[in-house]
Amino acid sequence: MFKKEFKFSVFLLGIFTLISACSSGAELDTLNPKGPTSRSIDSLADPVFMIAGVVFLIIFGGTALLWLRFRDDHSDEEFPDQIHGNFRLEILWTLVPTLILAGVSVFTLITLSEINGTDDNVMALSVDGEAISWEPEVLVVGQQWWWEYRYYLDGLDGVDLSDARNLPPADIITSTQMVVPTGEEIELKITSRDVIHSHWIPALNGKRDAVPGRVSPWKIEADEPGVYFGQCTEFCGLSHARMRMQVVAMEPENFQAWINRQIEPALEPTTESSKRGKEVYESLCVRCHVVKGVNDETSIGADLVSNAAPNLTHLMSRTTFAGGIFNMYEPDGSLNRTQLEAWLRNAPEEKPAYAEGRRGMPNLGLDEGQIDDLVAYLETLGEKPTIETIAATEVE
């Protein structure tokens, strides 16, 4: 009998060793903060885990002790004392947890106010050669099953956000990858166009739900340049598992450069194939997608419940697509043609969607020629990022 118990304790010990050993290295790790907000959460959570661990050890150790010490060894027939209780003990074990928790609450409140406070940082940017001061803010819009990031460089104050399905035009619109400057606190305004999603970049901050009809404030800040992975965490229907995103943090000067590129409209295609591709785009894709310089409007309403599809103007500047589940580039930096073609050939096959239910990109029944041309055209949209970024953002 004793052996069994011993084995069990060893087993548990093993588990806990593994817990401590395995809590780093993963891209979505919550215990590996990379920004001030997530750090203050972490520094609150760690001691709480510790307290929980200690309480657990006490209870578990206590149970084990009872088990060993008071087990009936049948040495005599005596009946144990019939103790009915002890008032002082009761008070003791009411008070002690109360005090511990009172301590925890104080720190909880402090951290809460920390992660909800905002500093009024402004950032000097130049847009179209004009110097502006930007209060870093990004509008985050969730929809089935991808994220859109909208940058309003004049600030979000005067922008009407009441109807997420009909937002006023933004200076920069990207999807799946949010680009931010390092060392700046970025205020997020999170909302949704259809169901509830949740925006979560574990290394930078906890979650905040994207609730249709509401605009929730949240913030992130990255210490270092890098790519931070995220995942939609509120169950949002069929492809919830496939709704991912990344934050790409870059030095402010790189960020400035990125802005400069992104506010430009798309270039005219030059090759024959890409010209034909543009025609296909204009005949089929403009229903839903926007490419600045080609079409600013869509007729999406009847096609998609959410009234939005990713803005493709700078598609190639993003390293992943379709909700961050596919690589745009091969590790060697060349276009991931196979995947992009497969997407155009039959999107619902690649990513579960209810295309007939007006959610997700439908299968458009393109022929191979059209697909080749379209890929050629898409390749002209936006600038390719550096090979380092490509490597850092690689998925699967």
Partner 1 sequence: MTQTVEPQVESTSEDQTKHQPLGVYTRPKGGNGWRDWVTTVDHKKIGVLYGAAALFFFLIGGIEALLIRLQLATPNGTVLGADMYNQMFTMHGVTMVFLVIMPLAAAFANYLLPLQIGARDVAFPRLNALSFWVFLAGGLFLNTAWLFGDAPDGGWFGYAPNTGIVFSPGNGMDFYAIGLQITGIASLVSAMNLIVTVLNMRAPGMTLFKMPVFTWMILVVQFLLVFAVPVITVALFLLLFDRNFGSNFFNPVMGADPLLWQHLFWIFGHPEVYILILPSFGIISEVIPTFSRKPIFGYPFMVFSGIAIGFMGWGVWAHHMFVSGIGPISVAAFSLSTMFIAVPTGVKILNWMATMWGGKLLFNTPMLFATGVVSMFTVGGLSGVTHAVAPADTQQTDTYYIVAHFHYVIFGGALLGIFAGFYFWWPKVFGHMLGEKLGKLNFWLMLIGFNLTFGPMHILGLQGMSRRIHTYSPGFGFELWNMVETIGSFIIGLGVLFFLINIYVSAKKAKGQPPIGPDPWDARSLEWITPNPTPIHNFDEVPNIEELDDFWHRKYGKDENGKIVRIASAEEVCQDGSATDTHLPSPSYWPLVLALGFPFIGYGLIYSLWLCVPGGIMILMSIYAWAFEPPDDPEGNHGDHHEDTTGEVAEEVSVD
Query: Could you list the residues that contact ligand HEC (CB under 6 A)?
Result: 145-146, 175-176, 281, 284-285, 287-289, 303-304, 309-310, 315, 318, 321-323, 344, 351, 360-362, 364, 374, 378
360 binds, among partner 1, ligand CUA, ligand HEC, none (CB under 5 to 8 A by kind): ligand HEC
Instruction: Please give the single-letter amino acid code of residue 116.
Output: N
**Pairing between strand 186-192 and 137-143?**
parallel
**How far lies 59's CA from each of 5, 53, 125, 203, 351, in Å?**
16, 10, 57, 33, 47
For residue 236, state whether it binds ligand CUA (rule: CB under 6 A).
yes
> Which part of the chain contacts ligand HEA (CB under 6 A), choosing from 63-71, 94-102, 281-289, 368-376?
94-102
> Which residues have a Cβ under 8 Å from the Cβ of 212 and sit 6 or more positions away?
164, 191, 192, 193, 194, 195, 196
In sequence order, the 6+-apart residues with CB closer than 8 A to the CB of 305 are 144, 194, 357, 358, 359
> Can you read off the two tokens belonging to residue 167?
């937002």
| φ and ψ at residue 126, rounded to 5 degrees | -120, 130
CA distance 163 to 214: 9
Q: Which does 59 bind (CB under 5 to 8 A by kind): ligand CUA, ligand HEC, ligand HEA, none?
A: ligand HEA
Considering only residues 48 through 67, tell me which ones interact with ligand HEA, judged by CB under 6 A: 55, 59
Report what 56 binds from ligand HEC, ligand HEA, partner 1, none; CB cut-off 5-8 Å by kind.
Answer: partner 1
The distance of closest approach from Cβ of residue 181 to ligand HEC in the complex, given in angstroms and rounded to an integer, is 22
Measured distance CA(160)–CA(166) in Å, rounded: 9
**Helix axes of 368-379 and 272-284: crossing angle, nearest 10 degrees:** 100
CB of 101 to ligand HEA, least distance (A): 6
Q: Quick one: 129 or 213, whose CB is closer to partner 1?
A: 213
* Count of residues near ligand HEA by CB under 6 A: 5
Query: What gap in Å lies between CA 214 and CA 341, rounded to an integer?
Result: 37
Look up residue 291 and give its DSSP letter: B
> Of these, 34, 189, 240, 276, which contacts ligand CUA (CB under 6 A)?
240
Q: Minimum distance from CB of 45 to ligand HEA (Å)?
A: 13
Which one of ligand HEC, ligand HEA, partner 1, none interacts with residue 285, CB within 5 to 8 A by kind?
ligand HEC
Please report whether residue 91 would count as binding ligand HEA according to CB under 6 A: no
Residues 275-294 that bind partner 1 (CB under 8 A): none
Beta carbon of residue 120, minimum distance to partner 1 (angstroms, whole number): 18
CA-CA distance, 328 to 46, in Å (whole number)? 37
Site for ligand CUA in 155-214 (CB under 6 A): 197
Contact 171, 152 (CB under 8 A): yes
DSSP letter (8 states) at residue 159: -
Choices 50-58, 235-243, 276-284, 299-307 (CB under 6 A): range interacting with ligand CUA: 235-243
Which of 232, 248, 290, 371 is the binder for ligand CUA (CB under 6 A)? 232
Q: How far apart are CA 320 and CA 244, in angstroms?
A: 10
Which partner, ligand HEC, ligand CUA, partner 1, none, binds residue 254 by CB below 5 to 8 Å per kind?
A: none
CB nearer to ligand CUA: pick between 197 and 219: 197
Interacting residues with ligand HEA (CB under 6 A): 55, 59, 97, 100-101
